[in-house]
């Protein structure tokens, strides 16, 4: 006789129905907020990032000509185009020395060589208006540089420098730098020290470096000087 198989349904008191994962209220709320974000929000974020990038680029371009805590110099305000050269030997990281376009650089100064003539007073005013002054020569190296540069680049004979006598024989620089007799570069036989000749020019037809000549304060070409901008 075949054995009978009996099936019984067994229930355990501690058994629980299939587990249900409940999402915390905070998570539900967060998902709900994400769903409510407008579709244009990513575009707005992209636009803001673009504006930040533009602002950084502008800051990088302007920063070199702005010294920390200082206002731009009169020379910087007068010119928008500049030419810069490395202030350090090649292969080393360093700053740049900048002069307005068309000016000549030597050491830490920029020089403007005029192509028109003016009286002494007009020359002083013209240089001042460009954020500079008539050149003040402080060393033989500077004097030689200017003399050779003018000799090679110009056929104009006389250029005002910033030296003048209020009284005969009492020479003064326009920027109040004390006049140093040992750093004076007069031509042979100059100065004549007469009441009629109280202004000084570089006379490029004379051999450098001794080519200063006192003259009547008439119309001459001029050399303006300003401190170079270092970035």
Over residues 105-125, the pLDDT tens digits come to 999 999 999 999 999 999 999
Query: Which percentage of the chain shows pLDDT scores above 90?
Result: 54
Predicted confidence (pLDDT) at residue 2 exceeds the cutoff of 50 = no
**Number of domains, the chain:** 1
Burial 84-116 (b: 16+ CB within 10 A, else e): beeeeeeeeeeebbbbbeebbbbeebbbbbbee
Give domain status of residue 187, yes or no.
yes
Domain range enclosing 170: 74-230
CATH assignment at residue 176: 3.10.100.10
Q: Cα angle vertex 131, ends 191, 159, to 5°?
A: 30
Return the pLDDT at 219: 97
Give domain status of residue 55, yes or no.
no
Give domain status of residue 11, yes or no.
no
pLDDT tens digit string along 139-162?
999 999 999 999 988 888 999 999
Give domain status of residue 117, yes or no.
yes
Give the chain's mean pLDDT.
81
Which range among 22-31, 60-69, 74-83, 132-141 has the greatest average pLDDT? 132-141
Predicted confidence (pLDDT) at residue 173 exceeds the cutoff of 50 = yes
Return the pLDDT at 52: 85
């Amino acid at each position: 006789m075949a054995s009978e198989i009996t099936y019984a349904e067994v229930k355990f008191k501690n058994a629980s129905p299939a587990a249900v994962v409940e999402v915390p209220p905070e998570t539900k709320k967060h998902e709900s907020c994400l769903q409510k974000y407008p579709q244009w929000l990513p575009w707005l974020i992209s636009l803001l990032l673009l504006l930040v990038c533009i602002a950084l680029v502008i800051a990088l371009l302007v920063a070199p000509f702005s010294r920390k805590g200082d206002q731009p110099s009169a020379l910087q305000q007068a010119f928008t185009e500049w030419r810069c050269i490395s202030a350090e030997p090649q292969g080393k990281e360093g700053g740049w020395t900048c002069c307005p376009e068309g000016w000549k650089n030597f050491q830490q100064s920029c020089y403007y060589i005029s192509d028109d003539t003016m009286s002494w007073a007009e020359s002083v005013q013209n240089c001042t208006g460009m954020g500079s002054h008539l050149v003040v020569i402080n060393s033989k190296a500077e004097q030689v540089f200017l003399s050779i540069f003018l000799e090679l680049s110009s056929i104009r004979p006389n250029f005002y420098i910033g030296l003048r006598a209020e009284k005969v024989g009492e020479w003064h620089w326009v920027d109040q730098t004390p006049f140093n007799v040992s750093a004076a570069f007069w031509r042979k036989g100059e100065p004549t020290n007469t009441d009629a000749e109280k202004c000084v020019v570089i006379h490029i037809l004379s051999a450098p470096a001794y080519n200063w000549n006192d003259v009547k304060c008439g119309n001459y070409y001029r050399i303006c000087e300003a401190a170079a901008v270092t970035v």
